[in-house]
Amino acid sequence: MNRQIILAERPRYLMPTHNCFELRQAPVPAPSDGEVLIRTLWLALDPYLHGRMKRINSQAQPVAIGDVMVGATVGRVQTSNHPDFSENDLVVGFWGWQDYCVSNGSRIMKLQTELERSHPSYALGAMSRVSGLGAYISMLHVAKPKPGETVVIGAATGGVGQIAGQLAKMEGARVVGYAGSPEKCDFAVKELGFDACVCHRDPDFGEALRDACAEGVHVYLESVGGEPMDHVLPLLNHYARVPVMGLIAQWSTGGTNANDTRMAFLTQVMAKRLRVEGVISNDFFQSHFRDFQTEMANWITTKQIKIVEHVVDGLEHAPRALQGMFQTGQHMGKLVVKVSE
């Protein structure tokens, strides 16, 4: 059978809850001429999935009620009736939360690098067009940290944060992370090589962040927003660069003092002549993906960049894991679901 997790209803509150999903059993589809049957191995859980569950989505079509939940996937070709694919090819695509899918080859791609073929889940994280490419573009093409500058990174041990922080270190910057637990902060410093990391749930977070950024902040990779952002803003130096990738705290809590935060932010943008640039990794797919994959594979293989993954075992646990993504202090590393061997 083909287990499929479908969108049963849209989130009633801010975050998805278990009633949003339903497990359905369907027959394993049969590939026709020119098609392949793919067995899912890995499924990526990314924050943007929350937007795809809502009725209105400014960037992409929302998932219809009753449809298979979407998401980036890696799988193995089980049967091929397509001239470009062979049995056992590893492919990446977007067929969502199900054990099997049939494809005509137009929306799947063979894993390109040896690194991904030996570690297929990396195709959904460090080597992907979402977290990996997003961290790479934000840091190396937008923020461009210089040696000695201070770079602040939120969700420091997450899919984007871990890579962005290590790239900034490679550029010679001082990297200060913030994360949702002391264990995550310890990990960022001891394992990922950040210079400091402070827990944003501590009551004295603001003070600790200020102490860790004695020379102010030259680069802030904004992927969190909310209350942590309120503490970073006053520390920004003149001409600081702020790539804006996401506002997960705003989505998961509705933001704290949302209006005040925005006013404070705009005041800082003007007064300090900040360069603020929105980054959507997918915009850079055509122009930068090949270079990014070559460089990232080299950095990971030569151990200049370390990758952390949080693996959830079993398709049936994907809904709960997605909910955990919108809570602070939970999983560490890129969140992936292992669907089969």
Ligand X SMILES: NC(=O)c1ccc[n+]([C@@H]2O[C@H](COP(=O)([O-])OP(=O)(O)OC[C@H]3O[C@@H](n4cnc5c(N)ncnc54)[C@H](OP(=O)(O)O)[C@@H]3O)[C@@H](O)[C@H]2O)c1
> Which residues are at the interface with ligand X (CB under 6 A)?
46-48, 130-131, 134, 155, 158-161, 179-180, 184, 200, 223-224, 226, 228, 245-246, 248-249, 252-253, 279-281, 325-326, 328-331, 334-335
Q: Which is nearer to ligand X, 5 or 332 (CB)?
A: 332
Smallest distance from ligand X to CB 291, Å = 17
Smallest distance from ligand X to CB 327, Å = 6
**Strand 36-44, strand 21-26: pairing:** unpaired
SS3 244: strand
What is the number of alpha carbons within 13 Å of residue 245 lying toward its C-beta?
Answer: 30
Q: Which is nearer to ligand X, 129 or 174 (CB)?
A: 129
Smallest distance from ligand X to CB 147, Å = 25
Enumerate residues 6+ apart whose C-beta is below 8 A from 48. 59, 130
Smallest distance from ligand X to CB 175, Å = 15
Q: Which is nearer to ligand X, 193 or 329 (CB)?
A: 329
- Please tell me what DSSP assigns to residue 223: S
Cβ burial of 164 (10 Å; 0-12, 13-18, 19+) is: buried
Residue (of 331, 323, 339) closest to 159 by Cα position: 331
142-147: long-range pairs with CB below 8 Å, 24+:
142/241, 142/243, 142/277, 142/279, 143/168, 143/219, 143/221, 143/241, 143/242, 143/243, 144/171, 144/241, 145/171, 145/172, 145/173, 145/218, 145/219, 146/171, 146/172, 146/173, 146/218, 147/171, 147/172, 147/173
Smallest distance from ligand X to CB 226, Å = 5
C-beta separation of 145 from 171 below 8 A: yes
Distance of alpha carbon 88 from alpha carbon 65, whole angstroms? 33
Q: Which is nearer to ligand X, 104 or 330 (CB)?
A: 330
Q: Which is nearer to ligand X, 35 or 46 (CB)?
A: 46
The identity of residue 138, as a single letter, is: S
Smallest distance from ligand X to CB 250, Å = 8
Smallest distance from ligand X to CB 303, Å = 21
Joined tokens for residue 216: 């102010």
The residue sitting closest to ligand X, measured at its beta carbon, is 158
Q: Which is nearer to ligand X, 146 or 317 (CB)?
A: 317
Q: Which is nearer to ligand X, 41 or 156 (CB)?
A: 156
Q: Which is nearer to ligand X, 218 or 331 (CB)?
A: 331
Smallest distance from ligand X to CB 34, Å = 33
Distance of alpha carbon 166 from alpha carbon 173, whole angstroms? 10
Q: Which is nearer to ligand X, 161 or 206 (CB)?
A: 161
Joined tokens for residue 330: 């939970």
Smallest distance from ligand X to CB 89, Å = 27
Q: Which residues pair with 221 in a beta bridge?
A: 153
